[in-house]
């Protein structure tokens, strides 16, 4: 169960984050006006990292909820528990965030059960309210509170697409894969590898990102490149490291696995 201690959610050290464009300014402007944030972008493109950076910048705690298809309203709001014959209430992460004026970040929000919109909607529009039905309580979020959700347009499906009434409540920020120079710098910093290698990894990623027509749903993310860099720094042979962190992570199709390994061995 979600920890009740809000202090744990403060971010003590400045996270390393390289802005892609004006995302920080936009997010701060949204925050200042009590508007919720929608982060769009492929996996591993820095959405979570950005939220950490934002939370650190505005000095608010960050409470992250990874949404899944079982996630219900009470997982967000809270529930009664029985312990030793006694019943007591436990705040869910969203309630916790509202009470303490924290950032509530719902990761992959389209995965959550449809009934969660009942609590998301009033919190995301100008009411900024959270109703805790089971307790007959109605909370109004303080101005420090921020709701943020993320969503990967690459996985769009008819079932899992976000409803217009939901998405139109948010200020949208698109975080795509960073441009090559920036991505290379991120890898150098995160994995502690040198320029030529970082540059090669970025090139490999760009190659895999062009393979949609060949049946690869999504290309290698910045995260995978960081992983590859970390293994290589540990002394794993570069091609092997890339095979494990990039190729096999991307696909099970043997031909595609072969093709991606060939790209890697051409570049490295």
Partner 1 sequence: MARVTTALSLQQIIPDNQLNEWEHEELIEQLAAYDAQLERAVLEQIAVIWPVSHALCFAFLGQLHNGLHCLEPKELAAWVKGILHVYEADGLRAARLYMSDVENNFLCRLRGESGLAFAGAQGRLVPYIRGLSGRSLQLEPSASVATDTSTIFLPRDVSFYRDHTGNFQVYKLLATYQWGFISQDLYCQNQLRSASIHIPGDGQQGTEGDRDDILARFFNTFANQQLAQDIYHLLQTLRVSVFLQQEYPGLMRDLKPFFALLLKKRPDIHQLIGVSYLLEKIRQWLLGQLSGDKVSELGVHPHLRTIVDAAWSGQAGNGDIFMVTRSFYDAYCRDDTAYEQLPPLLFQGEFRPREAHRARLVRRESNRQKFIEALAAILPPQATAEKAAESENEPQPLAANVVENGANITPAGHDTMNKAEPDQQPAEEPRFICLDDEHLVLPEELRELAREIEEDLGSLPSFYISSAS
Ligand X SMILES: Nc1ncnc2c1ncn2[C@@H]1O[C@H](COP(=O)(O)OP(=O)(O)OP(=O)(O)O)[C@@H](O)[C@H]1O
Structure-block tokens of residue 32: 């200042």
184 binds ligand X (CB under 6 A): no
267 binds, among ligand X, Mg ion, partner 1, none (CB under 5 to 8 A by kind): partner 1
Q: Which residues contact 14 (CB under 8 A, 6 or more apart)?
A: 53, 56
Residues 24-83 that bind Mg ion (CB under 5 A): 48
Which two three-digit tokens encode residue 103?
A: 């950032």
- Tell me how far CA of residue 176 lies from CA of 104, 125, 137, 183, 244, in angstroms: 22, 26, 40, 11, 24
Looking up tokens 């100008």 gives: 126
- C-alpha distances in Å from residue 133, one per residue of 70, 77, 118: 20, 9, 11
| Minimum distance of ligand X from residue 47's CB (angstroms) | 3
Q: What is the DSSP letter of 245?
A: I
The answer to whether residue 222 forms part of the interface with Mg ion (CB under 5 A) is: no
Binds ligand X by CB under 6 A, chosen from 9, 31, 36, 46: 46
Is residue 259 within the footprint of partner 1 (CB under 8 A)?
yes
Return the SS3 of 42.
Answer: coil
* Residue with smaller CB distance to partner 1, 52 or 222: 222
Nearer to ligand X, 228 or 259 (CB): 228
User: Distance between alpha carbon 55 and the CA centroid of its chain, in Å?
Assistant: 13
**In terms of DSSP bridges, do strands 78-83 and 86-91 run parallel, antiparallel, or are they unpaired?**
antiparallel
188-217 binders of partner 1 (CB under 8 A) = 206-208, 210-211, 213-216
The smaller minimum CB distance to partner 1, of residues 203 and 233, is found at 203
- State yes or no: residue 244 binds partner 1 (CB under 8 A): no
* Shortest Cβ 188–ligand X spacing (Å): 11
Residues at the interface with ligand X (CB under 6 A)? 16-18, 41, 43-49, 107, 152, 178, 186, 190, 222-223, 226
């Amino acid at each position: 169960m979600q920890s009740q201690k809000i202090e744990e959610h403060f971010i003590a050290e400045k996270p390393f984050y390289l802005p892609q464009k004006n995302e920080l300014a936009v997010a701060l402007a949204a925050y200042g006006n009590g508007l919720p944030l929608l982060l769009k972008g492929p996996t591993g493109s820095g959405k979570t990292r950005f939220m950490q950076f934002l939370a650190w910048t505005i000095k608010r705690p960050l409470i992250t909820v990874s949404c899944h298809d079982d996630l219900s309203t009470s997982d967000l709001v809270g529930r009664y528990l029985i312990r030793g014959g006694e019943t007591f209430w436990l705040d869910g992460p969203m309630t916790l965030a509202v009470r303490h004026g924290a950032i509530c970040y719902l990761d992959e929000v389209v995965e959550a059960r449809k009934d969660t919109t009942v609590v998301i909607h009033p919190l995301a529009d100008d009411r900024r309210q959270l109703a805790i039905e089971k307790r007959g309580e109605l909370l109004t979020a303080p101005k420090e509170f921020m709701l943020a959700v993320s969503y990967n347009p690459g996985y769009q499906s008819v079932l899992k697409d976000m409803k217009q009434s939901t998405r139109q409540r948010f200020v949208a920020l698109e975080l795509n894969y960073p441009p090559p120079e920036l991505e290379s710098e991120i890898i150098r910093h995160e994995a502690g590898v040198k320029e030529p290698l970082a540059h090669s990894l970025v090139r490999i990623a760009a190659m895999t990102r062009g393979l949609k027509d060949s049946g690869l749903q999504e290309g290698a993310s910045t995260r995978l490149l960081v992983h590859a860099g970390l293994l290589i720094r540990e002394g794993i042979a570069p091609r092997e490291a890339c095979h494990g962190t990039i190729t096999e992570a991307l696909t099970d199709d043997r031909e595609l696995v072969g093709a991606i390994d060939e790209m890697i061995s051409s570049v490295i």
